[in-house]
Structure 1
Amino acid sequence: MRGFLGAVVDQVKLALAIRSLLLPRPQDMERRAKAKEERFRKLLQYAYDNSPYYRKRFEGIDLKTCAITDLPTLTKADMMANLDDIFTDRDLTRAELERFMGDPANVGAYFKGKFAVCHTSGSQGQPAIIVQDKPAILTTFAAQFARGKKLSRRFLPYIQQLLYPARFSIITQKPGFYPSSTFFNYFPERARRYIKLQRLSVFDPPEVLVQKLNEFQPNFITSYTSALETITRELKAGRLKPSSDLEQMTNISEPLPEPVAERVEKAFGVHITNVYSMAECMALTCGCQATHGSHLNDELAFLEVVDSNGNPVPNGTPGNKVLLTNLYNLAQPFIRYEIDDIVTMSATPCKCGSLLPLVQSVQGRSKDQFWVNVKGEIRDLPYYVFLLALHNETNLAEHQFVQTGVNRFVLRAAPLPGQTLSVERLRQYVQQSVTAEGLGNVIHFDIEIVDRIPPEESGKVRRAKNLFGPPPATAAELETTSTAEAG
């Protein structure tokens, strides 16, 4: 009886959470703004009362009236150096969490029966440990179920949904403690009545992915951009036979260039939704059903898009980083947490009609932003300048552009199986593209033909990779940098 009652309670909690996060209507906006303000004040007070770190950081600040910009920011380095004091529960310690995650048998288990845990790969620098309480995990699922229109109807109480659950393929890494797996490791038991999951690995050979997808015939596919490109090539080659009732594809964790999205959508005949989130706030956005942007779940988080000095940038302008405040995870408060993503918020309402703010684009991490020196002037170099060069190369399987020095780049290109690539033709394509941007005599590049582009430890492929570093801040630094490179 206790098990039955527990299942009923879990089902009710999930249903109520979904209901609370249904897409807002105009008449809901005032109520939502008030609820967000209450969440914000609750977070600040809870952090102050229960986290020794925040108690010190918030000293002298009136937490009942302060603006978010009155609060200090938090870097990853500071968080990891003070992790035990940042946690609001004294049962949480970094040492115990690391031991817990060191045992693969704990994947999908709650630490001490209460906390979902994961760690980032450290591919962008220092790894981070992320802890979420059970209510935070419930909120994450509820947001996706409530605001993913094609998915949400799967949770309506119709008997056919129980008899014919949706088939959901997830192609990430194998289940583990990394962020893009955490969401699915803790999939609510009650939701499994409506969805049948298939977990696949991006490290599997294409022929293995094809075989398993052909057998499973998913209605929904979620993966990284690079893996979606892989299965698109298999579809075009006639080896992948997608389900006739495939409804939607979703990109996570990697930037989704518009040309790639269009190519995948044309091949499969379905829309790709693009979800922008991170381990620190997995319910940050939901994918737009009409564009390749992401709608900010703004009652659950603040997302401040700022320049390198922390000043806000206007909508429509790319920032240098974002400051994240997670309003629903009380176990490990993230308050104005610095993430070096290059994000652009839309300056106009979304054409889909949603009232939620639109994350127009995410270009990746600022650490991997390309730059060039044009007669002593430092300019950003958008990745698309290179990407556009490859559209006419039909024998190309995958690619990676790498900045190796001032104005120096390398294109790593892998051919389709059984095909070859011409270095001369690729060089011509790239040269035409950079010349069209007025950089024909500025950019120098080499081309390497490789068998494949290996993913990072995280399982993701970085299409744009800056090995040289960020641009110098001053002309003197630029001269020193150029001289050192020449030497």
Structure 2
Amino acid sequence: MATIFDAWQFGSASWAVASATHARPEAIDALQRQRLAALLEVVRDRSSFYRDRFKGLPAGPEALLELQPVHRRELMDRFDEWVCDPDLKLEELRHFTADHRNIGEPYLGRYLVWESSGTSGSPGIFVQDAHCMALYDALEGQRRSAVRLAQRLFDPLGLGERIAFVGVTDGHFASYVTVERLRRLQPWMASSVRSFSILQPQEALLAQLQDFSPTVIASYPSAAAMLGQEVAGQRLCLPALREIWTGGETLSAVARHRLEQQLGAVLRNSYGSSEFLAMGWECRAGRMHLNSDWVLLEPVDEHQRPLPPGEPSASVWLTHLGNTVQPLIRYDLGDHVRFVPEACPCGCALPVIEVQGRRDDTLRVAGVNGRPVPLLPLALSTVLEECVGLFDFQICQKDDQTLILRLPMTGEEGRRALAQARTVLTEYARSQGAQPIRVLGELGIRVPRGRSGKSCRILS
């Protein structure tokens, strides 16, 4: 089967990535400016959407500082004006992605296509050419730190691995499309790289995973947490598992530690999105480095003002320096990121970031002073994770004094967890100045997942 791969492009991208991985900060800054200038030249010439946006702005990279941010819905509404290849038409791409038989197939013989999950409210369609895929391959291959270095040295082709991707397998989502592409690029791995649907009945998923006995599981943190609970409850046995690869959702330090303990494996987290597949990677010191030689992230507050390192952002604006077919320039990604001001002990000059991803809803409950009190989703998740040990849950707000907590557990285990959760949630709300709240419980309910398999744990 055909797929998107160009050996020359991959070699060129690999050299560029390798040479910048340990470059000095000023060299990385120079690469950014050079690639930004080249990108702006292309979009001014080929994208009528961006040509309009840049009208009246300076010609060089300085124009970026004056450009207003763009949003996904706006870009999708003007898709045919946005892209730089006139052969790309939104309606034709939608028809292409409507057919699941096309997952991983090249579109027009030269593009890989995937959909976004729509967790930010507006689903999108993203196309990648051979250059873009070569860049992602090089970033993953050169910078993702090997968990078992000796194993990688003696088995560079991964012939001794059994890799299980646990996610959604009936849509054109980036993670699944790239797994299918890998199977086609490396047919000798086709039998040892398998995908398992997270949306099938849980009993069937557990049976399939146990039969496959993976050495590596790649999934979302919430899905991995579910598997960890099943292993802890002795309903799933994964004796060969050595590594867990997570991404796509927020991963707290507590959840990470619990996953490694339950699954008996080392976890490596990454940062990516439908817009840029390989934005961040973890070094051996456990820090997340941004691939800033190829992607610019500008953290901003709720008023769209730039933030200095050390301050958590309300959102970030993304500029993709490697995609000249479907350019993303000052694109409002919606993620919450903090740039760490301290240098990383690993010695790499690429920026260190802390990622909270796209948060769930902020709940607003009645306050004792008559004003609504916001309950932040990160805080609610933290108290349940750290105080109760709950990682697979959903909180839904019924009214300004009532929350509904849904747990997949049943029986005495579920009742005990619900009682503990009710205590910590009501106490946390009281500490924030809220009137007394009620926490209703619903047991035996699996956490709902979106089209891409991501969970939404806190809903207003």
Scaled by the length of structure 2, what TM-score is found?
A: 0.88
Distance (whole Å) between structure 2 residues aligned to residue 404 and residue 351 of structure 1: 46
Aligned to 1:369: 362
Q: Which residue of 1 aligns with 2:137?
A: 141
* Counterpart residue identity of residue 176, structure 2: S
User: Do the aligned residues in 2 keep the contact of 1:11 with 1:190 (CA within 8 Å)?
Assistant: no
CA distance in 2, matches of 1:273, 1:282: 16
Task: After TM superposition, list the pairs within 5 Å mapping 1:365-404 onto structure 2.
Answer: 365=359, 368-371=361-364, 375=369, 376=371, 381-385=376-380, 387-389=382-384, 391=386, 393=388, 398-404=392-398
Partner of 1:273: 268
1:89, distance to aligned residue in structure 2 (A): 0.4
Show CA shifts across 1:267-317 (max 9, x none).
2333322222111111211234443x5321001111111112211122222
Give secondary structure in 1 for the equivalent of 2:84. Answer: coil
Give the partner amino acid of 2:280.
T
Partner of 1:446: 439
The offset of 1:380, in angstroms, is: 5.8
Alignment match of 1:325 (pick from 319, 323, 327): 319
Does the CA-based 8 Å contact 2:309-2:341 persist in structure 1? yes
Q: Is the 8 A contact 1:273 1:288 kept in 2?
A: no
- Whole-angstrom CA distance in 2 between matches of 1:218 and 1:295: 28
Whether the aligned pair in 2 keeps the contact of 1:296 and 1:359 (CA below 8 Å) is yes
1:305 alignment partner, SS class: strand
1:200 alignment partner in structure 2: 196
Cα separation, partners in 2 of 1:240 and 1:94, compared to 1, 3 Å: same
3-state SS of 1:222 partner: strand
Identify the residue that residue 187 of structure 1 maps to in structure 2.
182
> What amino acid is the match of 2:52?
K
Residue identity opposite 1:136 in structure 2: C
Distance, in Å, in 2 between the alignment partners of 1:403 and 1:317 is 29
1:98 aligns with 2:94: yes
- Once the two structures are superposed, the pairs formed by residues 16-35 of structure 1 within 5 Å of their partners are 16-22=12-18, 24=20, 27-35=23-31
- Residues 147, 266 of structure 2: 8 Å contact kept: no
Listed one character per residue, the Cα deviations across residues 6-65 of structure 1 (whole Å, up to 9, x for unaligned) are 99x945543443343238465554433322221111111101111111111111222325
Instruction: Give the SS at the match of 1:66.
Output: helix
Stretch deviating more after TM superposition (346-355 or 140-149): 346-355
Change (3 A) 1:353 1:368: farther
How far is the alpha carbon of 1:461 from its aligned partner?
A: 1.4
In the TM superposition, 1:136-285 aligns within 5 A as 136-150=132-146, 160-162=155-157, 164-187=159-182, 189-191=184-186, 193=188, 196-244=192-240, 246-285=241-280
Equivalent residue in structure 2 for 1:54, among 50, 53, 57:
50
Indicate if the aligned counterparts of 1:319 and 1:344 stay in contact, CA closer than 8 A: yes
Alpha-carbon spacing, 1:331–1:153, altered in 2? closer, same or farther (3 Å): farther
Distance between the aligned counterparts of 1:188 and 1:89, measured in 2?
A: 28
Kindly tell me: are residues 271 and 152 of structure 1, through their superposed partners in 2, closer, same or farther at Cα, counting changes over 3 Å? closer
Kept after mapping to 1: 8 A contact 2:395/2:457:
yes
Matches within 5 A, 1:274-423: 274-291=269-286, 294-365=288-359, 368-371=361-364, 375=369, 376=371, 381-385=376-380, 387-389=382-384, 391=386, 393=388, 398-406=392-400, 408-416=402-410, 419-422=413-416, 423=418
Residue 74 of structure 2 aligns to a residue whose secondary structure is helix
1:172 shift after superposition: 0.8
CA distance in 2, matches of 1:391, 1:456: 26
Q: In the superposition, relative to structure 1, how do residues 81 and 164 fare at CA in structure 2: closer, same or farther (>3 Å)?
A: closer
What's the offset of the Cα at 1:154? 9.4
Return the offset for 1:342: 2.1
Check the 8 A contact 2:69/2:317 in 1, yes or no.
yes
Do the aligned residues in 2 keep the contact of 1:145 with 1:152 (CA within 8 Å)?
no
Structure 1 range deviating more: 405-414 or 87-96? 405-414
- Contact 1:370/1:383 (<8 A) preserved: no
Matched, 1:428 2:423: yes
Residue aligned with 2:62, SS: coil
Q: 2: CA distance between counterparts of 1:390 and 1:176?
A: 31
- What displacement does 1:403 show? 3.7
Q: Which range moves more in the overlay, 225-234 or 347-356?
A: 347-356
Query: In structure 2, do the counterparts of structure 1 residues 108 and 368 end up closer, same or farther at CA, with 3 Å as the change threshold?
Result: same
Q: Secondary structure at the match of 2:358?
A: strand
* Structure 2: runs of 5 or more not aligned: none
1:130 touches 1:279 (CA, 8 Å); kept in 2? Answer: yes
Distance apart, 1:372 and its partner CA: 5.5
Q: Which segments of 5 or more consecutive residues in structure 1 lack a partner in the other structure? A: 468-487
The question of whether the paired residues in 2 share the 8 Å contact of 1:10 and 1:190 is answered with no
Partners of 2:54 and 2:63 within 8 A in 1: no
Deviates more, 1:61-70 or 1:47-56: 61-70
Structure 1 CA distance for aligned equivalents of residues 119 and 259 of structure 2: 27
2:169 maps to a residue whose letter is K
**Residue 283 of structure 1 contacts residue 300 of structure 1 at CA under 8 Å; is this kept in 2?**
no
Find the counterpart in structure 1 of residue 122 from structure 2: 126
Q: Report the alpha carbon displacement of residue 175 of structure 1 after superposing the two structures with TM.
A: 4.7
Q: Aligned equivalents of 1:155 and 1:325: distance in 2?
A: 36
Structure 1 stretches of 4+ moved >6 Å:
151-156
* In 1: Cα distance, 2:388 partner to 2:180 partner: 39
**Conserved 8 A contact 1:403-1:410:** yes
Describe the shift of the 1:188–1:300 C-alpha distance in structure 2 as closer, same or farther (beyond 3 A): farther
SS in structure 2 of the partner of residue 22 of structure 1: helix
- Report the 3-state secondary structure (helix = DSSP H, G, I; strand = E; otherwise coil) of the residue aligned with 2:227: helix
SS in 2 for 1:350: coil
